[in-house]
Amino acid sequence: MTDTTDRYTFDEDDVVVTHEKSYAAGVPAVLVSLRRGLEQMGPVRTARTLFKLNQRDGFDCPGCAWPETPGHRKHAEFCENGAKAVAEEATTRTVTPPFFAEHSVAELLGKTEFWLGQQGRLTHPMVLLPGATHYEPIGWDAAFAMIAGELRALGSPDEAVFYTSGRTSNEAAFVYQLMIRAFGTNNLPDCSNMCHESSGSALVETIGIGKGSVTVPDIENADLILIAGQNPGTNHPRMLSTLEKAKGNGAKVIAINPLPEAGLLRFKDPQKVHGVVGNGVQIADEFLQIRIGGDQALFQGLGRLLLEEEDRNPGTVIDRDFIDRHTAGFDDYAAAIRQVDLDTVVQATGLTLAQIQQTAQALIASKKTIICWAMGLTQQTHGVATIQDAVNLLLLQGMIGKPGAGVCPVRGHSNVQGDRTMGIWEKMPEPFLTALDTEFGIRSPRRHGWDAVDSIRAMRDGKASVFVGMGGNFVSATPDTDTTEAALRNCALTVQVSTKLNRSHLVTGRTGLILPSLGRTDKDVQSGRKQQVSVEDSMSVVHLSRGSLPPASDQLRSEVAIVCGIAQALFGPDHPVPWQEFAADYDRIRDSIARVIPGFEDFNRKVRAPDGFALPHPPRDERRFDTSTGKANFTVNALSWLPVPAGKLILQTMRSHDQYNTTIYGLDDRYRGVKGGRRVLFINTDDLAALGFTDGDRVDLVSEWTTPDGTVQERRAGDFRLVPYPTPVGNVAAYYPETNPLIPLDHVAAVSNTPVSKAVLIRLERRS
């Protein structure tokens, strides 16, 4: 157990809590976007980038995976936080070899993620040699040779782990997984393991595909939209415009969240005049302030109420025809759900019976219902079961595969869904591997690989000793920071392909490599020709992205070029995969993708259509369900919820308005009224009084984890300021990644193995 206080201590420690009521977006949002752009890029680059963002001839926003409205791209199709993401990447500040000569790794380890990120773009490949105190420059070929040498020296290809973050383009992801499988392992952990894995697990079993079934027009035309465990005002701001349109068309929106998030309660669209000068639109018609982990109980309770109403008025609630024709398992589900105890549901959710009954009435009244969700549901021990109970509700009323209805897991990283489609997964199914082998004359391994949590265990236990990160910040994004750092330090070699400096560059194996890559906004020229890449959004639309800015240095290479460079060093000149041609012309990669992945036939032509093309989605397109039964499956899930032990609290770890995952843009969380610091704990005033604290007190957070043999482990994160906040009694909230040291590695969701970042048992200790 270590105190992590100094790991994330702030340069500025004066947190100001304003309690100001703030609208999401509106004039302040526009001003913030412009200010961040000007600070990081200067006026010319600001204008050049912001006008190319999400335009047909421009680049895909590296912010979130929310789709552009087809055919209706406005001139400024971006949001405040998309603009911040761009400013962060397109910054003119640089981290050069003299920077690394000046700052030792030990010194940099004392800096915050905020400070590290603010230093600018990485410009040169750098190496940290065994025993060295400083990174030093290394040539690209020497770096590739070093990686190839370490990989070849392993006892088995399974001793290497290849991580991917979700910004990687389809083309880079495809060649990356191809190199890894040709090398001989399926160890492909990705950020999705920590993100929407629970959604994928739940949806594959129930509807046969792990992707959302709705489009933007579906949302715009829905009658009822439930938004559970998601904070779109901060994390998917463009979704608010879609929701506003839906409301204009008469939709009812119900927000299900422990916190009254600003974006859901009020929103001003900066792209509309009335948005700028008016009072904002109330997005949510109802706010269900649920207790952390109470969603499964809510969905089960609603299932019971729907069935009872159907009993009273047969033929008015459930869609019998859909159930008979398209589903399996209804009788078992109905029998189980009728037994659900509504008193338990009330206790688990913290809602009143009247609120739950009203929600049931809204479902009954709706002919087109959509359920949207994100991390509040997926990062729970019972996340998969919770999502399956949401699917059960939709199946009851035939809400899948018809316009205006369906499931909507709102993805995080801008190409996280596309990376999965391209094969970034530790357990890709057989048809994909067969097609890959046929296309390239290789033999992909069949044994499933390690996901993120299992990769950490493998490195910790000495079973893996090379780590390669394609983007991301593995050390800070994963749970149990002390364990994860020790695991990486246990490696012979760690390699980070990155755009910006982060903590994962400082916690290395015996040798550490930093390979600087082009980002979304950068112009990518290979063999004299400008290249373009493609991405897939949260609604399965694939389209092109073209960067246009001059790169931060002439040393930067594209992710595709870096992968092909490593592959050539690893496999030599006589390999069946045409690495050199792939690196020279991304159309060649797309031609192979077209032959390997269903839905990508004629890829190069289709992707050049102005808005790209939509991938097939059998449940949405034709109510076809490729499941074990050939039908959509109702599931019976044991009810789980989270009682709070006396004197303890349940902590959710979430994003502020001023960060992108582990990249910290600034120290404010405008919508929650916090300024100038991130070590805050949002707590209900009743808990504050009951535990003997007052507003502004400083505490340490101590998590308590009981291992299978009954031992209680403690983990600690030091010095948080208490902030009274309207969160449910017993439920507290703080920001990630500062709180990751508190999350035990073994605290994972059933089935999906996703770290449970939204429900950590803690107690508070007064700082003396």
Binding-site ranges for ligand MGD (CB under 6 A): 63-64, 81, 165-167, 191, 194-195, 228-231, 234-236, 256-259, 261, 290, 292-293, 295, 374-376, 379-380, 412-413, 470-474, 477, 497-500, 502, 517, 519-520, 559, 652-655, 659-663, 736, 739-740, 743, 757-758
Torsion of CA 377, 382, 384, 390, to 10 degrees: -60
Both tokens of 481, joined, read: 């920071």
Which one-letter DSSP state was computed for residue 101? H
Both tokens of 412, joined, read: 């995080």
Looking up tokens 């390997």 gives 596
339, 285 Cβ separation under 8 angstroms: no
b/e code 585-624 from CB counts within 10 Å (16+ = b): ebbbbbbbbbebbeebeebbebbeeebbbbbebebbeebb
Question: What is the rounded radius of gyration, in angstroms, for the C-alpha atoms of the chain?
Answer: 25
Pick the closer one to ligand MGD by CB: 295 or 309: 295
394 binds, among Mo ion, ligand MGD, none (CB under 5 to 8 A by kind): none
Q: Is the dihedral of CA 745, 450, 627, 229 positive or negative?
A: positive
Pick the closer one to ligand MGD by CB: 91 or 635: 91
Q: Exposed, middle or buried, 717 (CB in 10 Å: 0-12/13-18/19+)?
A: buried
49 binds, among ligand MGD, Mo ion, none (CB under 5 to 8 A by kind): none
Q: Nearest approach, Cβ of 615 to ligand MGD (angstroms)?
A: 20
Pick the closer one to Mo ion by CB: 474 or 634: 474
The region that residue 682 occupies, defined by phi over 0 for left and psi between -120 and 50 for alpha, beta otherwise, is beta
689 C-beta neighbours (distance < 10 Å), count: 11
Pick the closer one to ligand MGD by CB: 64 or 683: 64
Q: Nearest approach, Cβ of 3 to ligand MGD (angstroms)?
A: 18
Number of H helices, E strands in the chain: 31, 32
- Taking alpha carbons only, the member of 329, 335, 327 closest to residue 399 is 327
Stretches 9-17, 358-366, 411-419, 694-702: which one binds Mo ion (CB under 5 A)?
Answer: 411-419
Q: Nearest approach, Cβ of 701 to ligand MGD (angstroms)?
A: 12
Which one-letter DSSP state was computed for residue 650? E
Q: Specify the 3-state DSSP secondary structure of 470.
A: strand
Pick the closer one to ligand MGD by CB: 216 or 288: 288
Q: Nearest approach, Cβ of 329 to ligand MGD (angstroms)?
A: 25
Pick the closer one to ligand MGD by CB: 504 or 627: 504
Considering only residues 303 through 342, tell me which ones interact with Mo ion, judged by CB under 5 A: none
Q: Which residues face 17 on adjacent strands?
A: 674
Q: Which residues face 522 on adjacent strands?
A: 549
Q: How far is CA 371 from CA 299, 392, 461, 650, 663, in A?
A: 11, 11, 41, 25, 29
Q: Nearest approach, Cβ of 227 to Mo ion (angstroms)?
A: 17
Q: Nearest approach, Cβ of 188 to ligand MGD (angstroms)?
A: 14
329 binds, among Mo ion, ligand MGD, none (CB under 5 to 8 A by kind): none
Please calculate the CA angle 63-242-652 and round it to the nearest 5 degrees.
55
Pick the closer one to Mo ion by CB: 113 or 150: 113
Under rule CB under 5 A, how many of the chain's residues touch Mo ion? 2
- Taking alpha carbons only, the member of 393, 379, 398 closest to residue 635 is 393
Q: What stretches of 412-505 adopt beta strand conformation (E)?
A: 466-470, 493-498
Pick the closer one to Mo ion by CB: 436 or 760: 760
- Taking alpha carbons only, the member of 442, 463, 704, 680 closest to residue 578 is 442
Pick the closer one to ligand MGD by CB: 85 or 151: 85
Q: Nearest approach, Cβ of 519 to ligand MGD (angstroms)?
A: 4
258 vs 46: CA distance, rounded Å = 37
Q: Nearest approach, Cβ of 559 to Mo ion (angstroms)?
A: 19
111 binds, among Mo ion, ligand MGD, none (CB under 5 to 8 A by kind): none
Q: Nearest approach, Cβ of 383 to ligand MGD (angstroms)?
A: 9
261 binds, among ligand MGD, Mo ion, none (CB under 5 to 8 A by kind): ligand MGD
171 binds, among Mo ion, ligand MGD, none (CB under 5 to 8 A by kind): none
Pick the closer one to Mo ion by CB: 195 or 391: 195
654 binds, among Mo ion, ligand MGD, none (CB under 5 to 8 A by kind): ligand MGD
The 157-196 contact track toward Mo ion, x by CB under 5 A, reads --------------------------------------x-
Both tokens of 646, joined, read: 């006396």
Pick the closer one to ligand MGD by CB: 426 or 559: 559
Q: Nearest approach, Cβ of 316 to ligand MGD (angstroms)?
A: 28
445 vs 447: CA distance, rounded Å = 6
3-state per-residue secondary structure call for 717-757: EEEEEEEECCCCCCEEEEECCCCHHHCCCCCECCCCCCECC
511, 493 Cβ separation under 8 angstroms: yes
Pick the closer one to ligand MGD by CB: 183 or 725: 725
Q: Nearest approach, Cβ of 745 to ligand MGD (angstroms)?
A: 12
651 vs 169: CA distance, rounded Å = 34
471 binds, among Mo ion, ligand MGD, none (CB under 5 to 8 A by kind): ligand MGD
Q: Nearest approach, Cβ of 648 to ligand MGD (angstroms)?
A: 16
Torsion of CA 422, 428, 430, 435, to 10 degrees: 20
Q: Nearest approach, Cβ of 660 to Mo ion (angstroms)?
A: 10
- Given 412, 547, 666, 677, the residue binding Mo ion (CB under 5 A): 412
Pick the closer one to ligand MGD by CB: 375 or 458: 375
206 binds, among ligand MGD, Mo ion, none (CB under 5 to 8 A by kind): none
Q: What residues make contact with Mo ion under the rule CB under 5 A?
A: 195, 412
